[in-house]
Structure 1
C-alpha cells in the first residue's frame, strides 16, 4: 500500500539494501577503526564504572552518600546514550553519503550533535514509556482475568506479548533513521514502522545478522565486543541507505563507493 508524502503524493516503497550493508560496513570501519573502538570502549566502561560506584554508595548508611549513589545510577543513562549517539553519528558520516547528507552538512558539527542527542533522548524516553506502560497494562489485564479464567489470562499474556514484540521490531530502525534523516521522534517511529512493514523478511534477516555478529563478539569477551558493537552500528546505519525501485536517484546508493 502506497503512503502519502507531505505534498500528498504517494511515496514509493523503500527497500532495505540488505545485500550491500556488509561491504558498506567494512568500508566504513576501515576508515577509522580506532575511533570506533574508542567510542565503544567509552560506551562500555563508563556506565559500568558508574553503576559499580553507585551500588557501593547506595549501601552506605549516610543519606548524602545514598543520594549521590542514586544520582550516579541515573547518570548511567546519558553515559550510555552519549557515546552511542556519537558512534552512530560517526558510522553515518563514514558510510557512503545518502541523498540527504549533502543538504544537512552545512550545520555546525557540535550543533548537529546536540540536536541529535536531544531528539535521541526524547525518542528513547517516548519508546520506554510506551514499552513499560504496555507491559504493565498486559500484566494487570492478565492478573484481573486470572481470577475468572486461567486460560483466558494466558491468552491475554501471550497475545499481548506478541503484539508488544511486533511493535518493538517495527521500531528497530527508529534511532538510525532519526540520526540519518534528522527526523523528529514521532517521524522516526513512523518511518521505521513503514520500512519494517515493507521489508519484513529483510528486517528479520538484519536482526539475525546483528544477533550473530554480537554473539561472535561475546565469544571474545570485552575485546570481541569492541569490534562487534561498532560493526553492528555500521550495519544499522547502512540499512538507512534505502533504495526506491524505479527511482533514478536511488541507483547511486546501490553499491559501496
Structure 2
C-alpha cells in the first residue's frame, strides 16, 4: 500500500500536477492520495473578500473560512484531482474524513491561540478502517481532502500531513505501508538555499541532531515528526521527495530522503 501526500505548490501548477498524477496513476497495487490546497483556498477567499488569517504558518479557521475550505478542498480541488485521475484510467473516489465516518476528529482546544474549526485526529484507532478497506478492496483509489468532522455535524480543517500519517498507521496492520510526502523540494535539505544538498537518509537519532542544530526547521519539523510517529506505529518506510521523483518508487532507487528508525 502506497500512501502519497501531495503539497500545495504542486497543486498550484497545472503542468506539474498533471505530470505527478500521471506518475501516481501508474503506481502498482493499492494506493491512496491525500492533498492540500491552502494557497488555492487563500486565493479563492480573497476573490470572495475573505482574507486568510495565519498564525505561525497555520490557518485560523473561523466559521466563514470553514465554509471556504470545505468548498475549495472538498469540492474544487478534490474533484479536479479525481477527474484528472479518471482521465488517466485510475478509478479514484474523492473523500473527506466525514465520508463513511472514516476520519472523526475533535475541535482543537484553545490554549494560547484559538484556531477555530481546526481538527485534531485522536490517532489511528479512531479511523474507520473497515469502511476504508471496503473502498480499497472494491478497486477504488481514495483521494482525501484535508477535512475531517467532529461527529456532531461540523466539518473541521485538518493538516494534510497529519491525515496521511494517521491513515498510514491505521492501515499498517493490514498492509505493508509506504508513506510518501511529495512537495516542491528534492527532499530534506542540509542547506535550505541549496536544492542539491539533499540528505539521502535520516534515522531517528540523526533527526534529533538535525533538529537541535536548526538544519531541520519551520514547516519541515511537523512533517518529520509525523513521519517518525508513523514509523513508530508500524509504517514500513517514509520517503520525502519532489513530485517528479515519485516514479523512483517503482525502481527501488529512491530519489529524495528516506526515513527509518535505525
> Structures share a fold, TM > 0.5?
no
Point out the structure with the larger helix share. 1
Instruction: Name which structure has the greater RCO, CA cutoff 8 Å, separation 6+.
Output: 1
Question: Based on CA coordinates, which of the two structures has the bigger radius of gyration?
Answer: 1
Point out the structure with the larger strand share. 2
